[in-house]
Amino acid sequence: MSDKMDINVIPDKKLTTKYVSSLSKIYWKDEESFKKTIAALNSYGVCPRCCLRFLAIDNQSIYRSSFQWMADFLKEREETMCSNICCACLGVLQEKYCREEFRKEIIKTLMEAKYEYDSFFVAITLPVSTMMREHSIWLKLAEQDKTAFNDYRRRDLASLKDCWKWVNGDDLGESLGRKSEYSTESACFEISLNFSHKTQFRECYPLDDYFEEFRKRKSDDIVYTRSSVQRALVKLSDDRFRKLYSSPPTIPKDECTVEIQFKQDSIFVAGRYNKYSRKLSQTPWVLDSGERRTNSSVQEMLCDSIKSHFKADSFVFTSSGREDVDVKMLGEGRPFIVELINPHVTTISKSELKDITKKINTQKDIGVRDLQLALRSDTMKLKEGEEQKKKSYSAFCWSKEPITQEELDSKLSNIKDLKVNQRTPIRVLHRRTNSYRTKMIYSLEAKSINEKHFILYLTTQAGTYIKEFVHSDFGRTTPSLGSILGVECDILELNVTAVDLDWPERLGDEEK
Ligand SMILES: [Zn+2]
């Protein structure tokens, strides 16, 4: 902390060139070589802030007062300060994007978007051509002073992104009344400044001559990424680069444009749901033609109110397994988690959670309980040991011949941990490959309703095809209930009665 404080101290005396040179991480033979470098950078058309970057200075406060110092320095030498768009930063560190008006524009856009947040991180995307330009300037400097600008010093060059934050971050934070964080881990809210430039990709085209990967003509933004251009610049010899690209770089005609966006970390809400309809699918059922087969879906009925509370852009629904459209989800319900993408609201009270629960439960066919905030890592809990989980069902069955309670008991009561072999059911063959799997049925019990109808209660390994176990799917499942009872059986209705997962925490809120 104290280190950070020290480099932020604003010198109260006027900046002297001697003082500025003492901040540079570069080893200078003498003061004159330092001065010559500054004059050279100015003559290439590099702005004062970029000058400081190339001098490997990371004193944050000096970046704010750099213009005055530079003007004074050049005046002494009877030289004039370059007034063009900077050939290194393309304007990012110059007047337009570092003055109060620009910060006000960010604040105005942010206020209009109405986000809840405590601190923020500014994420900056730069035109990829700034890498070509930086490389070109570095080579030019190295040409003139090999000792000062050796490859080893390259890492000390201050980054354009950091410099923008040093100049603007604190002021922005002060105006917003929030802390400006320097690492993305420390803040859940991100202000993205996406700078782009007219010729950003065109300037990289010369790299195509040497690198195969650039010749695969996809769109430019996919081909010329920061990492691909970085790799190319490391591999390319200095002489070759000089042949491809002018050194120092040309003075740009236009400055960057910027797009301001905001992004909030996802929020997660978990719970358990019941489904009381045999006509409701878990996810929206949309045909290839775009036509909807069902009016709503479990996930929409559950998530719409949650999404609207958090004012999220969208949501991702995940549950511990799923049931077919015509299967009811009874008992304590099925655990689920909802990821709310880019929420504008980040808090929810217990009573608001209760209100949302009530609101969801006013809808026919659906019920929710145990609604609570969760973590991203909880998403794994739904998937962990998926195959080992137990599920319990009740199935309303029919037998071709009459069957008594005694017969049901005598044939089923001894069965424990029964292995069944199942081929992919015919009804799902159109969307799944034909494969073969073995699943466990842990317990079986039946209660006679009348001579040809009974209810089957069973607990099975997750992923067992229950309908097929009952009617055998033309012999594709063996053994089947029919083969065990010695009579043709079919399933009329199926309910899931329990999903064996001790998460999320049971809150004991009332049932619907
Ligand atoms: Zn610049």
Looking at the fold, whether 216 and 125 belong to one and the same domain comes out as yes
239 is catalytic: no
Q: Which residues 6+ apart lie within 8 Å of 330 measured at CB?
A: 274, 276, 394, 495, 496, 497
Looking at the fold, whether 481 and 407 belong to one and the same domain comes out as yes
Residue 353 belongs to a domain: yes
* 394 SS3 class: strand
Tell me the CA–centroid distance for residue 158 and ligand 1, in Å.
12
Tell me the CA–centroid distance for residue 85 and ligand 1, in Å.
8
Tell me the CA–centroid distance for residue 199 and ligand 1, in Å.
17
Q: Answer whether 186's CB lies under 8 Å from 121's CB.
A: yes
Residue 508 belongs to a domain: no
Q: How far is CA 188 from CA 180, 264, 265, 268, 285, in A?
A: 11, 6, 5, 13, 34
Residue 510 belongs to a domain: no
Q: How far is CA 288 from CA 250, 292, 293, 299, 448, in A?
A: 52, 9, 11, 20, 43
pLDDT at res. 492? 96
Catalytic entry in 324, 378, 490, 509: 324
Burial of 446 (0-12, 13-18, 19+ CB in 10 A): buried
Residue 509 belongs to a domain: no
Residue ranges of alpha helices (H) inside 45-119 are 48-54, 66-76, 95-98, 100-113
End position of a domain, from candidates 208, 238, 262: 262
Looking at the fold, whether 258 and 394 belong to one and the same domain comes out as no
Tell me the CA–centroid distance for residue 93 and ligand 1, in Å.
5
Bridge partners of 272, per DSSP, are 335, 369
Tell me the CA–centroid distance for residue 43 and ligand 1, in Å.
13
Looking at the fold, whether 295 and 343 belong to one and the same domain comes out as yes
Tell me the CA–centroid distance for residue 82 and ligand 1, in Å.
11
Q: What residues flank ion ligand 1 with Cβ within 5 A?
A: 47, 50, 86, 88-89, 93
With b for 16 or more beta-carbon neighbours within 10 A and e for fewer, the 368-384 pattern comes to bbbbeebeeebbebbee
pLDDT at res. 2? 36
Q: What is the 3-state secondary structure (H, E, C) of 145-171?
A: CCCCCCHHHHHHCCCHHHHHHHHHHHH
* 25 SS3 class: coil
Question: What is the crossing angle of helices 298-310 and 350-361, to 10°?
Answer: 150
> How many Cβ atoms from other residues are within 10 Å of residue 249's Cβ?
23
Question: Which CATH number covers residue 371?
Answer: 3.30.70.2510
End position of a domain, from candidates 262, 296, 329: 262
Looking at the fold, whether 182 and 156 belong to one and the same domain comes out as yes
Tell me the CA–centroid distance for residue 130 and ligand 1, in Å.
10
Domain that holds residue 453: 386-499
Strands 489-499 and 390-399: antiparallel
Residue 341 belongs to a domain: yes
Spatial separation of the C-alpha atoms in residues 464 and 441, rounded to whole Å: 8
Tell me the CA–centroid distance for residue 356 and ligand 1, in Å.
52
Tell me the CA–centroid distance for residue 349 and ligand 1, in Å.
47
Tell me the CA–centroid distance for residue 132 and ligand 1, in Å.
14
Burial of 112 (0-12, 13-18, 19+ CB in 10 A): exposed
End position of a domain, from candidates 205, 231, 262: 262
The total of structural domains in the chain comes to 3
Looking at the fold, whether 51 and 187 belong to one and the same domain comes out as yes
Looking at the fold, whether 302 and 448 belong to one and the same domain comes out as no
Looking at the fold, whether 272 and 251 belong to one and the same domain comes out as no
pLDDT tens for 269-299 read: 999 999 999 999 988 877 777 777 667 899 9
Tokens matching residue 116? 């809840």
Looking at the fold, whether 136 and 124 belong to one and the same domain comes out as yes
pLDDT at res. 284? 84
Residues of the chain with pLDDT under 50: 1-12
Bridge partners of 477, per DSSP, are 422
Question: Which CATH number covers residue 486?
Answer: 3.30.70.3190
Tell me the CA–centroid distance for residue 47 and ligand 1, in Å.
4
Looking at the fold, whether 351 and 414 belong to one and the same domain comes out as no
Residue 345 belongs to a domain: yes
Short-list 214, 237, 209, 211, CA closest to 224 = 214
Residue 126 belongs to a domain: yes
Tell me the CA–centroid distance for residue 180 and ligand 1, in Å.
23
Looking at the fold, whether 105 and 184 belong to one and the same domain comes out as yes
> How many Cβ atoms from other residues are within 10 Å of residue 244's Cβ?
18
Tell me the CA–centroid distance for residue 146 and ligand 1, in Å.
23
Residue 7 belongs to a domain: yes
Residue ranges of alpha helices (H) inside 336-377 are 350-361
Looking at the fold, whether 253 and 401 belong to one and the same domain comes out as no
Chain-centroid distance of CA 250 in Å reads 37
Tell me the CA–centroid distance for residue 35 and ligand 1, in Å.
18
